Amino acid sequence: MSLSGWFGKALRVNLSTGSISSEELAPELLTKWIGGRGLGARLIAGEVPAECDPLGMENKLVFAAGPLTGTRVPGSGRFSASAKSPLTGTITDSNAGGTWGVKFKKCGYDVLIIEGSSPAPVYLVIYEGQASLYEAEDLWGADLIKTDKLLKDKLGQNVSSACIGPAGENMVRYASIISDGSHALGRGGLGAVMGAKKLKAIAVLGAQKVAVSNTERLDFVVYETNKWIKANPITSQGLPEFGTPVLVNLFNELGVFPVRNFQASQFPDSGKISGEAIAETISTERRGCYGCPVQCTRFIQTEKTGVTAGPEYESIWALGPECGIGELEVIAEANYLCNLLGLDSISTGVTIGCAMELAEKGLLPAGPKFGNAAGLTKLIRQIAYRDDIGDLLAEGSRRVAEKCGAGQYAMQVKGLELPAYDPRGLQGMGLGFATSNRGACHLRAYMAGPEALGVPKMVNRFSTSGKAGLVITQQNINAAIDSLIMCHFINLAVSEEYFARILSAVTGIDYQTQGLHRIGERIWNLERLYNLRAGLVSSSDTLPPRLLEEPVADGPARGRTVELKPMLEEYYRYRGWDDCGRPLAYKLQELALEGFTC
């Protein structure tokens, strides 16, 4: 069966033996799981034992493009990576933009499967469909800028690389993989998995054309999509002008901008670290990922960073107010250092914030202090190199707090640190955090859209009524979008109907909107089944005690906690799960998942 949009091929690399092989992918595998996150989840669930050590030989790392990757579809220049997470022990994936995904796809592959572990550091080169492993002794220990430069010097300036820094080499549990110098596969510690396998980098360059089934139909739908993008004030004005930091002042005004490890929900100096402040002070230019009209990446320049990608909304918060720090240039330098060393900026900041509160309460005497801007970059380096207290913090907030006998101070779900939204003022976001398969994540169900931004419509952010259905709908469609694989910002401007029409035009297969929802639901339930086999229990679907028991002291969300229990009960029922959060037999049959058990 000939398919457009896909090449129908996987590249498998065994680092233990050095063997490299190409495999055919069954058409049904692609049409049922699409690509990106969905295909990655299917391969991990089928090949990686749920009980395995995430940093051991049995774990695998799956990089996947989607059928839209390499086409002219706006926002489609992305790729994902999947594995069992060393931070959470759950199945996880992360995706990034830039050019790596497109250049990998144009090598003639839909997916790259990395298995085994190399006895010595290596890097992988995939050039026009041919793949080879090379010794990486001269790269091991190098930061991300130096690694990228050395690879370009060796292989040519057009090569795109996905690399780990010292944090990945030292298996920091929230180490990231960085592509094109600043695009992070950030969450869940995929960089640590790569480091455990002694794989320093994957360099790619391809030029094969991605086949499109109906070019005229695609031209029309892309034209319509771009019209919606230009008409939406978020994608045509807010993000292009200020990037994601445009959200800083808004969420601070709403009283959902966490401060000092979620002890407060508003930051008095938010205006000094906002997107507007960046635009007025350190911003130099804006850029975007492959083929994207939004161009939301802000490049900045400070005395210590030089010209570099600026901090996103999440990074500004995690490395700033979460740690009681409000100096913009300090935050920018800390973000630059996270990218340079290969650290997830969210988990880095929240873990440091947790340590600061533990120190404040006398439970971590040698710990850092809130507001210590001067010591922030030193601490980040200590984490990346596992030096001194950094060795403890490299384990993530849950392990840090538990070691201090105070697990309640870790702001995490399933081991993954919370992002920059206090759910006491966004009830649906709280349910989304609690039920996310990869741990606390705002992208699995971005309930800040309807609860704060009015996208696709405004709902009462303090109400719990109807939130379970909204969360499930978002989780399902976002799983499909992560499999296409497209940028979520495009979904702020266009409905999922357009994704179905685009996918149909590219592949020649008639995908309907409800079909995309069903594929997303299948992916969600498969991830859940894997996590249950890995030891997840229903009590894991919760939030830190502070968010459930301690009302917000001041601001618009004053007196609020997250009313999780009624939402969670409704969520399980709507999902077709039992009271313990296990998918029922009829649901598995409905989703064609009978072969997978928990």
List pLDDT tens digits, range 293-336: 888 888 999 999 999 988 999 999 999 999 999 999 999 999 99
- 433 vs 13, 57, 471, CA distance in Å? 34, 30, 10
Report pLDDT for 117: 98
Q: What are the b/e assignments for 333-346, b being 16+ CB within 10 Å?
A: bbbbbbbbbbbbbb
Does residue 219 belong to any structural domain of this protein?
no
Q: Which structural domain, as residue segments, surrounds residue 108?
A: 9-205
Report pLDDT for 297: 87
Query: Could you tell me if 221 and 14 are in contact, meaning their C-beta atoms sit under 8 angstroms apart?
Result: no
Sign of the alpha-carbon dihedral angle for 391, 179, 197, 199: negative
User: Residue 325's closest CA among 268, 245, 388?
Assistant: 268
Provide the H-helix boundaries in 361-448: 376-384, 389-393, 397-403, 427-435, 448
Distance CA 297, CA 315 (A): 13
What's the distance, Cα to Cα, between the start and end of the chain in Å?
Answer: 33
Residues 156 and 290 in one domain: no
List pLDDT tens digits, range 114-148: 999 999 999 999 999 899 999 999 999 999 999 99
**pLDDT above 60 (res 8):** yes
Does residue 97 belong to any structural domain of this protein?
yes
Residues 315 and 340 in one domain: yes
Distance CA 255, CA 560 (A): 11
Residues 190 and 65 in one domain: yes
List pLDDT tens digits, range 345-389: 999 999 999 999 999 999 999 899 999 999 999 999 999 999 999
Q: What is the DSSP-derived secondary structure letter of residue 236?
A: I
- CA 88 from chain centre, in angstroms, equals 14
Angle, vertex CA 595, rays to CA 593 and CA 598, nearest 5: 85
Residues 481 and 564 in one domain: yes
Query: Could you tell me if 425 and 403 are in contact, meaning their C-beta atoms sit under 8 angstroms apart?
Result: no
Q: What is the CATH number of the domain that holds 505?
A: 1.10.599.10
Q: What's the number of CA atoms in the CB half-sphere (13 Å) around residue 595?
A: 4
Report pLDDT for 289: 87
DSSP assignment string, 472-528:
HHHHHHHHHHHHHT--HHHHTTS-HHHHHHHHHHHHSS---HHHHHHHHHHHHHHHH
DSSP assignment string, 3-42:
-SS---EEEEEETTTTEEEEEEPPHHHHHHH-SHHHHHHH
Residues 544 and 567 in one domain: yes
Q: How many CB atoms lie within 10 A of CB 391?
A: 14
Q: Reply yes or no: is the peptide bond before residue 365 cis, omega within 30 of 0.
A: no
Report pLDDT for 2: 63
**pLDDT above 60 (res 1):** no
Distance CA 157, CA 135 (A): 20
Residue where a domain stops, chosen among 356, 388, 410: 410
Does residue 365 belong to any structural domain of this protein?
yes
Distance CA 164, CA 166 (A): 7
Task: Write down the mean pLDDT value for the chain.
Answer: 96
pLDDT range class, residue 288, cuts 50, 70, 90: confident
Report pLDDT for 110: 98
Residues 344 and 430 in one domain: no
Does residue 155 belong to any structural domain of this protein?
yes
Least confident interval from 144-148, 304-308, 527-531, 549-553 = 304-308
Q: What is the CATH number of the domain that holds 170?
A: 3.60.9.10
Report pLDDT for 464: 98
Report pLDDT for 291: 82
Does residue 274 belong to any structural domain of this protein?
yes
User: Residue 151's closest CA among 88, 221, 200?
Assistant: 200
3-class secondary-structure state, position 266: coil
Q: Report, as an integer, the average pLDDT of 490-496.
A: 90
Residues 276 and 348 in one domain: yes
Distance CA 296, CA 284 (A): 13
Tell me which of 424 and 310 has the higher pLDDT: 424
Query: Could you tell me if 134 and 118 are in contact, meaning their C-beta atoms sit under 8 angstroms apart?
Result: no
pLDDT range class, residue 290, cuts 50, 70, 90: confident
**pLDDT above 90 (res 78):** yes
Q: How many CB atoms lie within 10 A of CB 589?
A: 10
Residue where a domain stops, chosen among 410, 437, 455: 410
Q: What's the number of CA atoms in the CB half-sphere (13 Å) around residue 8?
A: 11
Type of residue found at 399: R
Q: Report, as an integer, the average pLDDT of 568-588.
A: 97
Does residue 531 belong to any structural domain of this protein?
yes
Distance CA 530, CA 475 (A): 17
**In this structure, what token pair is assigned to residue 257?**
């901008």
Q: In the chain, how many domains are there?
A: 3
In this prediction the pTM is 0.97
Residue where a domain stops, chosen among 184, 205, 226: 205
Residues 430 and 352 in one domain: no
Report pLDDT for 129: 87
Report pLDDT for 503: 97
Residues 336 and 475 in one domain: no
User: Residue 350's closest CA among 404, 295, 421?
Assistant: 421
**In this structure, what token pair is assigned to residue 21?**
């092989």
**In this structure, what token pair is assigned to residue 528?**
């859940």
Least confident interval from 241-245, 272-276, 518-522 = 241-245
Q: What is the CATH number of the domain that holds 344?
A: 1.10.569.10
Query: Could you tell me if 10 and 66 are in contact, meaning their C-beta atoms sit under 8 angstroms apart?
Result: no
Report pLDDT for 501: 96
Residues 351 and 430 in one domain: no
Distance CA 423, CA 202 (A): 38
Does residue 56 belong to any structural domain of this protein?
yes
Residues 152 and 258 in one domain: no
* Helix and strand totals (H; E) in the chain: 26, 17
3-class secondary-structure state, position 538: helix
Report pLDDT for 286: 87
List pLDDT tens digits, range 176-201: 999 998 899 999 999 999 999 999 99
Report pLDDT for 410: 98
Angle, vertex CA 54, rays to CA 597 and CA 186, nearest 5: 105
- 470 vs 265, 362, 476, 540, CA distance in Å? 24, 41, 10, 21
Does residue 96 belong to any structural domain of this protein?
yes
**pLDDT above 60 (res 534):** yes
**In this structure, what token pair is assigned to residue 458?**
């405004």
Q: Report, as an integer, the average pLDDT of 13-29.
A: 97
Least confident interval from 16-25, 90-99, 234-243, 344-353 = 234-243
Sign of the alpha-carbon dihedral angle for 246, 252, 258, 260: positive
Residues 143 and 167 in one domain: yes
